[in-house]
Structure formats: structure tokens, C-alpha cells
Structure 1
Amino acid sequence: MALAERPVPGRVYFFLVLTTFLWGGSFLFSKIGLREIPPLLFVFSRFTLATMIMLVLFARRLPALDRTILRRGAIVGAALGLTNITFVFGVRGTSISRAGVLNNLFVLFIPLIGKLIWKERVGRINLAGLALAGAGIWLLATSGGAGFNRGDLISTLCALFIAVHIITVSRVLADDDVYLVSLVQFATVALMSGVALLSCPAVPAAVSGAALFSVVYCAIFPTVVCFTLQNSFQRYVTPTRAGLVYTLDPVWSLLAGFLVLGERLLALEWLGCAMIFLAVLIPLLARYLMETRLMRRYCPHRLP
């Protein structure tokens, strides 16, 4: 896109915030749908529908689908599949308030994975964030409420897979057609969940209108629409600024849990969630301030 066609910053941030709002809705509607639909069937239905929508919307691009896109899309799709399978089991086993906060730990897992695999420097601020997050998790575990239950553990594991997916995207994908890659990703998740579903004993599912709407919502908005918005607008901001916007995800899940599902947390649980949220936010703010100083010094014309 030419520089003259670059969208104004307000438009960029509006659509990125809208993306977090739609992602936040996936916690609420997944929780509602999982009351009646088994987790693996929910993931399979969501991504099968999303794949069909992508096929209809981007059928004209299919001639460009080659082995390279299939291979790369399948690799990142495998990471996305692990992310979404753990997501539904985590949401089913804990409150969406806690799941939203714990999923955001991916921001801290990314540098940790980089350190373990590629010997990249973690940094003191990230280490402090990990320590603060650990303290917040300890408060959740010892608060006297639900404790750190199985759903919390799976939601934390989901955050790890979110980090793996983000790293995989950045290291595997090149100048590929983002829509075809997304199509292959969605199809890979549908295939993974379908195989897992067939490997497990059949579980009866009674699908009400609310459950069906939950699947449709999650297929359209947090999947097709959010991937399109993210691919379209995130490139106009730095990863740090995008990360700061994406910390709104747990805010929406907390509000949805409180206002719609009537979820209530004890004082120590709120404190634990706040500590985890700050553990994610502080390293991002530190990187944002450093980026801003560097841009003012070397590229003042690029500041919004």
C-alpha cells in the first residue's frame, strides 16, 4: 500500500480495539456453547464453518494455493489447533474472568521460549513480569475461592500455545497470501479436532439455539473477522503497540463474566488477576517507552 493510502492512526487503533472486543466475546460465547456442546465438537464445528466461509469469500485466490502455502499453513495451523483445543477445555473448567487473564500470559511466554530455544535475552523487566505473574497465580491458588483448578492450568497452557503460534507465524510465514494461509490454518484446526473427536468416546450433545449461535459467532467474528482485521491493520503499528492494545482482551472477558454470567471473584482473586495483568502490561509499557524514545530520536516523522 502506498504511503498516501496509509490509514490514519485513529482508524488503525479503532479496528485493533474492535478485534480485542470480538476476541473477548469468544470467551463468553464459548462458555455458553460448551454448556451443551463437547469441547472437541465445538472446535470442530467452529473451524469447519470458518473454513467454509473462507472458501466462499476467497474462492478466486484458490488457484494460487501451492505446496508452500499448504506446508506453511499446516505448520502454523497445528499451533493454532493446540491453542484452540486447550482454550475450550480451559474455558469450560474455569471462569472466563480467570481464563481471559491467564491467556494473556502469552506476552511473557514469548521471550521465555526465545531464551530456551534460540538463547535470546529475556531482560530484567520480563523476568520481573514472570515473577509477578507467578505471585498472582499463587494468590489464585490460595485465595480460598476456586483455587488454581484444572481449568486455570489448561488456560495457562493455552497461553503457552498462543505464544508458540505467534512465534511460528513470525518464523515460518514469509510473503504468503494471508487469506490462503488463514484458510489452510482453519482447515488444519478442523482436521485436528475432527481426528481427536473420532478418537474419543462419543458424547451426547443437545444443541439449543443459544449453543448454535455461539458456534456461529465464534466461527465468524473471533475467527474470520478478527484474522482479517489483524492482518489488515496490525502491520501499521509496532508489535509492542499492538500488544498493548491486545491487553484489552481480559478486560472484555472480565466484564462479560461479571455482567452476563454473574461471575464473582473474591478480593484476593481480583488481586491475583490484577497482578497477572500488570505482569503482562509492565514489560509492554517498558518496550513502548523505549520504542518511542528511539523513534523520536531517529524517525520523528513516523510518530502518530
Structure 2
Amino acid sequence: MKKETVPVRNSLLLLLTATIWGIAFVAQSVSMDYIGGFTFNSIRSLIGSLTLLPVILLLSKPKSAEEKNRPQTSSNQKILITGGICCGIILCLASNFQQFGIKYTTVGKAGFITACYIIIVPVIGIFLRKKCSPFIWIAVILSLCGLYLLCLTPGEGFAIGKGELLVLVCAFLFSIHILVIDHFSPLVDGVKMSCIQFFVCGILSGIPALLLEKPDLTDILAAKVPVLYAGIMSCGVAYTLQIIGQKNMNPTVASLILSLESCISVIAGWLILGQNLNSREIGGCILMFGAIILAQLPQKEASV
């Protein structure tokens, strides 16, 4: 029973992550009216890192005699720091490529291309000798069809321009981010690694923000509500849930669940911004949820 409940619990954590990220698209859109992309990513990441500090202090207290006697080797600390830095660098590149790619393309195209990490992850996984069952590949195809219905409007061209290329790079980087987390998350404390990755991402994004955008405190305060949501919820909470939820999970299944952020962002736009869903978009949502359910089938069989 325990082996079966772990994937279910992790799937729910990843679904919650996708929900938070989907709603964050609204916050991201609003904040860009006041501050630049580097500034936004720097502040939200540093807030996310600070948010996790009290959580780390709370969770760091040993709860059992076994944990008290467990040695903290320098090797474990080195892996933790290495994992946090690697994730932070990749997250910085991916989030900023996405942020500026959206400026040169439509939101629909950006959403579709970004979510293409659901197909990039298993393709990269082939070269890393990670096996995927036929059910997962069918789920990938279904989810791509769902994303197409959800994000692209009939008659809209799909020419690859500057914005599309930037977001395509973002999708590739997010694929690497998922695989790097898959490598490090079983070896280290997920919350600590998440804190480190946000600190690294915030510092790296802050350098071009200061040099190129020269952020103004008045503009930052004007965007405080979306920035705080993006920092506390989208970064501090969601990315940590991603690291915890990906433990012992097939990275392809994880990427499929996380891709629901595109679906949820449409729902958030409908509920918060009053953007109605048409039958095409509803069909895309149904395909996406169907793909997630299908992707869970081989996971249960593999754990027997």
C-alpha cells in the first residue's frame, strides 16, 4: 500500500504545483506593466528563497533518535550545494528566456511552446537510458493535442520568429531543469535545495536587472501584489512542491502533470480576468486531464 500511495501523493503535489503556476501567469502579466523581466524574476526568486528559510529551520529539528545520530557529512553538503546551484542557473536561464520571449509572440504560442517540455523530457530521457512505456508516449501525444486546442486559435499561423525561438529555448531549459531535479532530489533535502536555487536565480537575474533595467522602488511597490504572489506561492511554495513531488517519480509523468499549468492558466484567466472558455479550449482541457490519467497507469504497474 505504501508503494502505491507515494506516486498518488506525489502526483497530487505536482498537480498543486501546476495550479499555483497556472494562476501565476495572471500575476506575471500584471507585474510586467510596472517592472522589467529581469527585475521581476530577481525579486520573485529572492522572495521565494527568503520564504523557505523559516521552513528549513522548522524542518531541520531532528524528530527521532535516529535522525539525531545521523552524521552530516561534507559530501552530503557538497551534493546539496551543487544541486542548488545547478538548478538555480538553469531556472534563471529558463525563466528569463520565457519572460522576454512572451514580449515578441502571442501568449497562446508561448504557452504551447513552453509546454513542449512534455515531449522534450522523454526524448532527452532516451539518451539517459530512462525507459518510457507506450502508455506514457500516448499520453504525451494526447497532451500535445490538448495544448494545441487550448493555446492556438484556428487560422493562426505558426511561423517561428524571435519570440518563438526564445520560448523554445525556454522549453528545452525547463526540460533540463526537470531532469536535474530528478537526479538530485533523492539525494538531498528538497526544501534546502529549492532555497539555494532561488537565491542563485535571484542573484543572477539581479545583475542584468541593475545594469539594463535600473529598477525603481516606486514601480516595484506598485507591482507588490503580483510580485509577492509570484515570490511566495509560485517560487517558494510551488517549486519546492515540485522538488518534493518529483522524488521517486518518472520524470516524464512529472512533466505531464506539470504541463497542466497551461490548462489551469486558461481557467484562471476565465475566473479572474473574465476570459471565457470556448468549446475548443474545453476540449483541450479534457484531453490534458485524460493524458494525465493515462500516464499514471504504467507507474502503478512499475511499482508492483
TM-score (norm 1): 0.71
Match of 1:50 among 48, 61, 65: 48
**1:247: Cα distance to partner?**
3.6
* Counterpart in the other structure of 2:155: 143
Quick one: distance in 2 between partners of 1:178 and 1:208?
30
Quick one: distance in 1 between partners of 2:157 and 2:274?
15
**Is it true that 1:248 corresponds to 2:248 in the alignment?**
no
Quick one: distance in 2 between partners of 1:41 and 1:230?
24
**1:91: Cα distance to partner?**
3.8
* Counterpart in the other structure of 1:84: 95
* Counterpart in the other structure of 1:302: none
Moved more, 182-191 or 199-208: 199-208
Q: What is the letter of the counterpart of residue 68 of structure 1?
A: I
**1:284: Cα distance to partner?**
6.3
* Counterpart in the other structure of 1:24: 22
Contact kept, 8 Å, 2:31 with 2:40, in 1: the verdict is yes
* Counterpart in the other structure of 1:113: 124
* Counterpart in the other structure of 1:215: 227
Structure 1: stretches of 5+ with no match in the other structure: 300-304
Moved more, 93-102 or 74-83: 93-102
Distance 1:86 1:291, change over 3 A: same
Contact kept, 8 Å, 1:97 with 1:253, in 2: the verdict is no
Quick one: distance in 2 between partners of 1:231 and 1:29?
22
Contact kept, 8 Å, 2:39 with 2:215, in 1: the verdict is no
Q: What is the letter of the counterpart of residue 106 of structure 1?
A: Y
Contact kept, 8 Å, 1:32 with 1:210, in 2: the verdict is no
* Counterpart in the other structure of 1:195: 207
**1:67: Cα distance to partner?**
3.5
**1:69: Cα distance to partner?**
1.9
**Is it true that 1:70 corresponds to 2:81 in the alignment?**
yes
Match of 1:163 among 172, 175, 179: 175
Q: Secondary structure at the match of 2:33?
A: coil
Distance 1:3 1:191, change over 3 A: same
Q: What is the letter of the counterpart of residue 213 of structure 1?
A: V
Superposed CA RMSD: 4.5
Q: What is the letter of the counterpart of residue 77 of structure 2?
A: D
Q: Secondary structure at the match of 1:176?
A: coil
* Counterpart in the other structure of 2:67: none
Distance 1:157 1:167, change over 3 A: same
Quick one: distance in 2 between partners of 1:84 and 1:170?
19
**Per-residue deviation, residues 13-34 of structure 1 (Å, max 9, x unmatched):** 5544332211101111101101
Distance 1:144 1:180, change over 3 A: closer
Contact kept, 8 Å, 1:96 with 1:253, in 2: the verdict is no
Structure 2: stretches of 5+ with no match in the other structure: 62-71
**1:52: Cα distance to partner?**
1.6
TM-score (norm 2): 0.71
Distance 1:256 1:99, change over 3 A: farther
Distance 1:218 1:235, change over 3 A: same
